[in-house]
Amino acid sequence: MNFVIAATYDSYIDAHLAMGNLLSENINCWLKDENTIAIHPGLINAIGGIKLMVAEPQAERALEILRNTKRRYQEQNPCPNCGSINVEYISTPKKASNWLVTFVNVVRHGGAQMAVEKVYHCFDCGFEFEDAGSNTKT
Ligand SMILES: [Zn+2]
């Protein structure tokens, strides 16, 4: 059977969560390169992350499940600034004290060796935040 890449993950945990979602929907899937990452976590960027492979005939359904999962997650984590759910969890170069330091690091190291951190980025207002959950007041 042919398998296609449905998604790539730079986190072992995210990859397994996604695979678990698909398996519970009877999607035939597996993770490519997860063993490599497990043994050499530093290679995760070099090899392009862990690939979630799904059986080609089920790929469309798999993508829909992944989209729905992501959407549910976004709805639970709206932008704390404007309330938009047009929010993406992205990798960003670790915040430097000023933009010049960031720029110099990018030039010197091509960006690839920089430490990155994950933040939520709101595409509606540009606000960035680390974890929406911790901002909710009840
Ligand atoms: Zn926003």
Strand bridging mode 50-55 / 87-93? unpaired
Domain boundaries, the chain: 3-76, 87-129
Is 70 exceeded by the pLDDT of residue 109? no
- Give the tens place of pLDDT for each residue, 8-50: 998 888 899 999 999 999 999 999 998 888 888 888 778 888 9
Q: How far is the CA of 87 from the centre of ligand 1 (A)?
A: 8
Q: How far is the CA of 88 from the centre of ligand 1 (A)?
A: 11
Is 60 exceeded by the pLDDT of residue 96? no
What span, in angstroms and rounded, lies between the C-alpha atoms of 133 and 120?
A: 11
Cβ 92 vs Cβ 130: under 8 Å: no
What is 90-101 written as a DSSP string?
Answer: EEEEPPPSSHHH
Say what the pLDDT of residue 37 is. Answer: 82
φ and ψ at 109, to 5 degrees? -110, 5
Residue with tokens 């449905």: 6
Strand bridging mode 87-93 / 116-122? antiparallel
- Give the tens place of pLDDT for each residue, 46-87: 888 899 999 999 999 999 999 998 888 888 889 999 999 998
Q: How far is the CA of 7 from the centre of ligand 1 (A)?
A: 25
Cβ 129 vs Cβ 135: under 8 Å: yes
What span, in angstroms and rounded, lies between the C-alpha atoms of 67 and 87?
A: 13
Q: List CB-based neighbours of ion ligand 1 within 5 Å.
A: 79, 81-82, 84, 122, 124-125, 127
Say what the pLDDT of residue 43 is. Answer: 83
Is 70 exceeded by the pLDDT of residue 133? no
Q: For residue 105, what pLDDT band results from cuts at 50, 70 and 90?
A: low
Say what the pLDDT of residue 45 is. Answer: 79
Q: How far is the CA of 49 from the centre of ligand 1 (A)?
A: 28
**One-letter amino acid of 85:** I
Q: Which residue has the higher pLDDT, 73 or 137?
A: 73
What's 75's DSSP letter? H
Is 80 exceeded by the pLDDT of residue 92? no
Q: Give the number of C-alpha atoms closer than 13 A to the C-alpha of residue 133, restricted to the C-beta side.
A: 3
Q: How far is the CA of 59 from the centre of ligand 1 (A)?
A: 32
